[in-house]
Amino acid sequence: MTSMNQQSGKNGPIEQYDVMVIGAGVSGMYALHHLRQMGLSVRVYDGASDIGGTWWYNRYPGARVDGPGSPFYSYTFSEELIQEWDWEETQSEQSAVLAYLEHVADRFDLRRDIQFDTWVQDARYDEATQRWTVETDTGVHASAPFLICAVGALSTANMPDIPGIHDFAGECYHTGRWPHEPVSFEGKRVAVIGTGSSGIQSIPEIAREAEHVTVLQRTPQYAFPAGNRPITPEERADARTNWDSFVAKMRSNFGGFPYDNQPRSALEDTPEQREALYEELWQRGSFKFFLDLYSDIATSEEANQSLADFVRAKIRKIVHDPVTAKKLLPDYFVITKRPILEDGYFETFNRDNVSLVDLREDPIERFTRTSVVTRSGEHPIDMLVLATGFDAISGSMLRLNPKGRGGMSLAEKWKDRFHNYLGLTVAGFPNLFMIHGPGSPGVFYNMPLGAERQMDWIGRCLRHLDEQELGAIEPLADSEEAWGAEVSALANATLFPRTDSWWTGANVPGKPRYFSVYLGGSIYYQRIYDMADNGYQGFVFEKENQPGNAEAS
């Protein structure tokens, strides 16, 4: 393989690398480290001013890990990291996660190969040279045989298109693009659109300070107690002493955390026993709620109903005003939208300075310079918070919109479905790899660990190409079709596709509507390694610099 040097192109010098990585978040940082360890020259580009990706952007008040949490939401590639990093809480706040990532960047001297404040505007494959070239908004022109897209599953902000929204003259912030300067809510009338994780985490924080908060809710949500607590010295010592066995468990367990799933069906228990379990889990809180639940909550309507009823009863009990409580009651299958962890969200509606607008009966008509107007009337506001989420999973790949063989754009290829093979590669886009893209377990798995495991596979694939003197790899169209069928078959065995969510693309108008995450959990990693062991089954290779000389595998 080549190393970094420069060649001249018609627009000036072209930097040459072995691999270019787009994105310096959790995935891109590990990609850089791993590729460097392989002895490759790597350049990483990121539009942000520092590392962290989603954790760099999402600094809204109340932002926390809302998965199974610390210390297992972390890298596993270096044991030193667990030995030297003190996680303080189970649901770490954004600043703590970012501090950890900064520590990783320092420890492995990552920043020297990352170009920040640099947006990749164009990425295209050249069939003759078997190389990708990128052009950036800072005038960089660079080329490498391989392009790794670590662009993030939750990084392209979803901006609502509401009449007059650009006329609003007050402060306006999207939770996924929160300013770095402190935002004061004091004495302000704030409207919040959106009640997903970001809205539900930030609304109680905003309400503590603001003069008034108007929550504009399109879909009521099931939310569960976060149960955040300090990590005890014993837990920390246990994680450090037994790190290897924790990692082994993380790698074998379904979701990538060292916790076993409850194997029992809800229907094996009496209603009283179910109620007792739900109450116990509710009191304890945390994402472990979902792991310790019955095995069929996401597959059996009856099991699902029992938990949905339990949470609805809790909401009715917590919220004093019955009219508000009724508006807050969700009516879809519980956990078929991303489960949310909350800390005082429902209680917030008992405050005098918080009101709820149910957009399903009272939709937003428009914004003016000073207000939001819903069907029932005008709400004067000083600040608008858009907690409206992301064009998730596929959105950032489409924003990059790489051009593959014959100049075909990814947007063209993905207009009806996010065709891919193994959630890693795309036919017509040789030598391009995705981390946490559609077709992978991505957001249904411990994301730092998932990124490591996908990247290790990619590294092994690059080594294979080098050893075999192969110039390009891409999947066959048939392989993509079979993989797509496998993704859908797994999803269709559950209740997930039956609810509108960002998992199904329903939150973004015009987006292909299907459940694009691979629901096999850790089985996925076995599947992709089996494919590699079987001679990269389903892929086609080209010899170095001999385009068109394809060898099916």
Residues interacting with ligand NA7, by CB under 6 A?
A: 66, 154, 158, 160, 175, 193-199, 218-219, 338, 359, 387-390, 502, 507
Which strands make up the sheet holding 354-358, listed edge to edge? 171-174, 383-386, 189-193, 212-217, 354-358
The CA radius of gyration of the chain, in Å to the nearest whole number, is 24
Nearest approach, Cβ of residue 495 and ligand NA7 (Å): 16
Question: Distance between CA atoms of 310 and 64, rounded to whole angstroms?
Answer: 25
The identity of residue 207, as a single letter, is A
Tokens of 459: 């590294």
Q: Which is nearer to ligand NA7, 196 or 423 (CB)?
A: 196
Nearest approach, Cβ of residue 508 and ligand NA7 (Å): 8
Nearest approach, Cβ of residue 385 and ligand NA7 (Å): 11
Q: Which is nearer to ligand NA7, 220 or 430 (CB)?
A: 220
Q: Which is nearer to ligand NA7, 155 or 425 (CB)?
A: 155
If 0-12 CB within 10 Å is exposed, 13-18 middle and 19+ buried, where does residue 230 land? exposed
Q: Which is nearer to ligand NA7, 130 or 440 (CB)?
A: 440
Q: What is the sign, positive or negative, of the torsion defined by CA atoms of 485, 486, 487, 491? A: positive
Nearest approach, Cβ of residue 360 and ligand NA7 (Å): 9
Q: Which residues contact 197 (CB under 8 A, 6 or more apart)?
A: 66, 338, 340, 341
Q: Which is nearer to ligand NA7, 227 or 402 (CB)?
A: 227
Question: Distance between CA atoms of 207 and 353, rounded to whole angstroms?
Answer: 7
Q: Which is nearer to ligand NA7, 404 or 450 (CB)?
A: 450
Question: Distance between CA atoms of 316 and 322, rounded to whole angstroms?
Answer: 7
Nearest approach, Cβ of residue 395 and ligand NA7 (Å): 11
Q: Which is nearer to ligand NA7, 24 or 387 (CB)?
A: 387
Nearest approach, Cβ of residue 405 and ligand NA7 (Å): 34
Tokens of 107: 């420890």
By beta carbon distance, the residue nearest ligand NA7 is: 196
Nearest approach, Cβ of residue 505 and ligand NA7 (Å): 11
Q: Which is nearer to ligand NA7, 319 or 387 (CB)?
A: 387
Nearest approach, Cβ of residue 282 and ligand NA7 (Å): 20
DSSP at 406: G
Closest by CA to 48, choosing from 386, 396, 507, is 396
Question: Distance between CA atoms of 153 and 423, rounded to whole angstroms?
Answer: 12
Could you count the other beta carbons within 10 Å of the beta carbon of residue 131?
23
- 217 bridge partner residues: 358
